[in-house]
């Protein structure tokens, strides 16, 4: 079964194929109405279940639109609809859904939920996000970087802030796409050592530098994310702000990167917390291209999963 569970579980050749396919599909839609169907209809007659235990804007809209553009249909299910793991087991839910649909995308909290869904489903499963990783976002980020600056291999990416699930998938991508990555942030929020080791095992540099100004020297891309994730308790907000205030992406920090360094943020952003509006709206920011590219990258992921 061809699942898309994490970047480090997918071969570099397949990942490259998805990025190239995403770019081709995006180019083919240039100048067409957003609601228009693609010339190819690879998902015609297919039903895709979109499961959301976590709330979502970009993931829900981009997957839903992507399926429809390719001629398929979606069934959107919330956590309250499903009651995953409460009453009916995840395994039984996976078995039942597989009798109705051709593909399952799940956005959930625990990685174990994703893995159990994939183990027992007889149709492909896509990781729309877990607390541990966010591979679809990073596929969009790679597509975005290469649209603006060419191949990402050999470039330097700097992550500033919390070593969260998006950072984890960036480290996976560093190993699979061949770029170097530096994390800068407070020690309690370091990315998992397992992910740093994975990138290093592929022959790229994966480093930690506490000084953010030193970290971004020579950076081709600077990335950050919210300081307080949607699953974090409100009590964590003040503590996170105190920990991360020195890692805000602002004009002074970006001045230490390469003059043409891009800025990315997966959104939603808390303006003037993790990044200033000046940077978000500045000439080096590609955040809205990045948001759009979730659509194109995920269409390529779905086609790869289904072999169409």
| Options 136, 167, 266, 305, the catalytic residue | 266
| Options 294, 298, 303, 305, the catalytic residue | 294
Sheet holding 47-52, edge to edge: 73-78, 47-52, 103-107, 125-129
| Of the candidates 76, 68, 99, the residue with the CA atom closest to the CA atom of residue 298 | 68
Q: Is 107 a known active-site residue? A: yes
Query: Does residue 246 contact residue 234 with C-beta atoms inside 8 Å?
Result: no
Element (H, E) at 22: helix 12-28
Reduced to 3 states, what is the DSSP secondary structure of residue 178? coil
Q: Is 176 a known active-site residue? A: no
Residues in the chain: 308
| Options 69, 137, 176, 298, the catalytic residue | 137
| Options 225, 243, 256, 296, the catalytic residue | 225
| Options 107, 132, 256, 265, the catalytic residue | 107
Strand ranges, E, within 194-243: 206-208, 221-224
Q: Is 225 a known active-site residue? A: yes
| Options 134, 172, 256, 296, the catalytic residue | 134
Residue 185 CA neighbour count, 13 Å, CB half: 26
Q: Is 136 a known active-site residue? A: no
Q: Is 271 a known active-site residue? A: no
Annotated catalytic residues are 107, 134, 137, 225, 266, 294
């Amino acid at each position: 079964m061809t699942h898309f569970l994490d970047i480090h579980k997918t071969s570099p050749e397949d990942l490259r194929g998805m990025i190239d396919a995403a770019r081709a599909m995006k180019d083919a839609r240039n100048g067409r109405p957003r609601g228009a169907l693609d010339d190819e209809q690879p998902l015609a007659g297919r039903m895709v279940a979109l499961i959301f235990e976590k709330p979502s804007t970009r993931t829900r809209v981009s997957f839903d639109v992507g399926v429809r553009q390719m001629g398929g249909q979606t069934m959107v299910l919330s956590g309250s609809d499903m009651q995953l793991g409460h009453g009916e087991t995840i395994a039984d839910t996976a078995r039942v859904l597989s009798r109705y649909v051709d593909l399952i995308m799940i956005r959930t909290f625990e990685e174990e939920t994703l893995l159990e869904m994939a183990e027992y489903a007889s149709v492909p499963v896509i990781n729309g996000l877990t607390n541990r990783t966010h591979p679809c976002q990073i596929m969009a980020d790679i597509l975005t970087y290469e649209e603006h600056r060419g191949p990402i291999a050999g470039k330097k990416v700097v992550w500033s802030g919390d070593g969260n699930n998006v950072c984890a998938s960036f480290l996976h991508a560093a190993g699979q796409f061949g770029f170097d990555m530096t994390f800068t942030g407070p020690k309690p929020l370091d990315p998992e050592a397992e992910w740093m080791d994975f990138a290093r095992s592929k022959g790229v540099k994966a480093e930690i530098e506490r000084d953010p100004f030193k970290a971004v020297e020579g950076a081709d891309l600077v990335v950050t994310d919210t300081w307080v994730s949607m699953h974090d308790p409100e009590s964590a907000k003040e503590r996170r702000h105190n920990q991360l205030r020195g890692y805000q992406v602002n004009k002074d920090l970006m001045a230490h990167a390469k003059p043409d360094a891009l800025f990315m943020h997966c959104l939603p952003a808390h303006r003037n917390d993790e990044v200033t509006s000046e940077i978000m709206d500045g000439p080096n920011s590609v955040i809205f291209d990045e948001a759009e590219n979730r659509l194109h990258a995920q269409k390529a992921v779905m086609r790869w999963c289904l072999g169409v």
